[in-house]
Amino acid sequence: MHNPANLDVIYIDNHLLVVRKPAGMLVQGDRTGDISLLDYGKAYVKAAFNKPGDAFLGLVHRLDRPTSGVMVFARTSKSAARLSEQFRIQKIGKVYWALVEGKTPREGRMADKLLRAGPSSTVSSKGREAALGFRRLRFERGISWVEVRPKTGRHHQIRVQFAHRGHPVLGDLRYGARIGFPEKSLALHARALTLSHPTLKEEMTFEAAPEAFWPKRFR
């Protein structure tokens, strides 16, 4: 049994479970057999509500394994469908923090076409539209701390679009980073997520602090 005490719960009700995903943890199980955030979430719901059998928990979005931050799960199939639709039509507000190499512009917008090829993605005229907005919060010692607001949700979008412009995310060896990051993670954090509650129809925003090993000057 997975220990539900290991789950960092931000919010829970009859329809939603919002948690803080630690860097390095899978969102959903894969061939490695490692315990996933979904496993911990189901164990938490089962224990908290004394549910017999397996607890339902719907996966409506994902974060890369090395990325930390806000994750939302649906506690009913109806909530899962409604949340999935919000993600599909890009009604979910997403804010990321990233530490990237070099000095970025103070603010700007990136628009590219991204093509996925196996575990990686690349900028390609044959790809799908990818857009984001960003602003630089600080520049220090060759590192830019940027707040990113993706408009689309393409595979590795933030990582690829910044690396394509010479600003790879710290620790992202896949896309050319020269500066590492602790715990084999990336300096990429899902800082906040805004959604319409699937039954209350109220707009809600959830936030999560970055990992403890993030430099204090970039918090």
* Catalytic annotation, residues: 64
Question: What is the helix (H) or strand (E) element at residue 80, kind and residue range?
Answer: helix 77-88
Please give, one letter per residue, the 3-state secondary structure of 135-199: EEEEEECCEEEEEEEECCCCCCHHHHHHHHCCCCECCCHHHCCCCCCHHHCCCEEEEEEEEECCC
Strand, coil or helix: what is 99? strand
Are 133 and 149 in contact by the 8 Å Cβ rule? The answer is yes
Cα angle 145, 191, 35; round to 5: 115
Tokens of 68: 């930390």
CB 179 within 8 A of CB 59: no
Nearest Cα to 190, choosing from 144, 161, 143, 158? 158
Burial 160-173 (b: 16+ CB within 10 A, else e): bbbbbbebbbbbbe
Q: What is the C-alpha separation between 30 and 40, in angstroms, rounded?
A: 15
